[in-house]
Amino acid sequence: MAFSEEVIRENYRKLSNEKLMRLASEDAAKLRPEALVLLREELSVRGLTEAAQVSIAAQLRVLSEEEIDQYCALIRAVPCPICHSTAQPLNASVTAKVSSFMIVTTTKNELVVACPSCLDKRSESATSHCTYLGWWCIPWGIIRTIQGLAFNRKMAESHHVAYPNASLRSFVVDNIDLIDAAEGNVNRLHAFLIALSLNQ
């Protein structure tokens, strides 16, 4: 159901500056064109346009394959956020953790950017989690556990490739505004990746 412009405008007016900026910096690309116009209007009224425009532009930007490669090269040169080693170029992976309790089964997917060795350890940890905690609910626990184990095994195949894998390329596209904000500074990129790893 589409909301009228007036409803959207009123919803934006009710948001605090912090929430409005978070919407602009994280979700602008998901908004319908007319909602994005109204968001920009509200930012302008509050004098927040300049602070938000870089994030909005980054989210709406379509990257070429060459640009994605360049950003991936930047990320791959950063020390591993887990072991802090520079011995191997970074890559990315997604792990699935399946948990069951009584009649409830949940699956949590976690993105990790790290060196191949640390990616392997995260994958092994997620696989162990599935093996010990995933299958307790019948039938979904067993079904989701099998799916989680297969998913982790499939993702692990790309940990040691010599090029940026699909997970890293997706990570770059999804986080281009934050990567741009680091301005190629290795220490800032490292801090960003450490924060990401701690949130998983």
Q: For the chain, 200 residues long, give each residue's pLDDT as a single digit of tens.
A: 456 888 899 999 999 998 988 888 788 878 888 888 999 899 989 888 887 887 787 777 778 999 999 999 999 999 999 999 999 999 999 999 999 998 899 999 999 999 999 999 999 999 999 999 999 998 999 999 999 999 999 999 999 999 999 999 999 988 887 888 787 788 999 998 998 887 76
Q: What pTM did the predictor assign? A: 0.75
**At 14, which amino acid appears?**
K
Are 63 and 71 in contact by the 8 Å Cβ rule? The answer is yes
Residue spans of alpha helices (H) in the chain: 5-14, 17-26, 33-45, 49-60, 65-76, 116-133, 140-156, 166-174, 176-181, 186-198
Same domain, 111 and 174: yes
Split into its structural domains, the chain has a count of: 2
Same domain, 37 and 125: no
Domain boundary residue, one of 44, 60, 76:
60
User: How far is it, in rounded angstroms, from Cα 143 to Cα 136?
Assistant: 11
* pLDDT for residue 116: 98
DSSP state of 27: S
Smallest Cα–Cα separation from 42: which of 65, 9, 4?
A: 9
* pLDDT for residue 1: 47
Residue 186's domain comprises: 66-198
Helix, strand, or coil (residue 91): strand
Which residue bears the tokens 């978070």?
Answer: 22
* pLDDT for residue 174: 84
Helix, strand, or coil (residue 62): coil
Structure tokens at 15: 């948001």
* pLDDT for residue 112: 95
Return the number of other C-beta atoms located less than 10 Å from residue 1's C-beta.
Answer: 2
* pLDDT for residue 163: 97
Count, residues in the chain: 200
Domain boundary residue, one of 60, 75, 104:
60
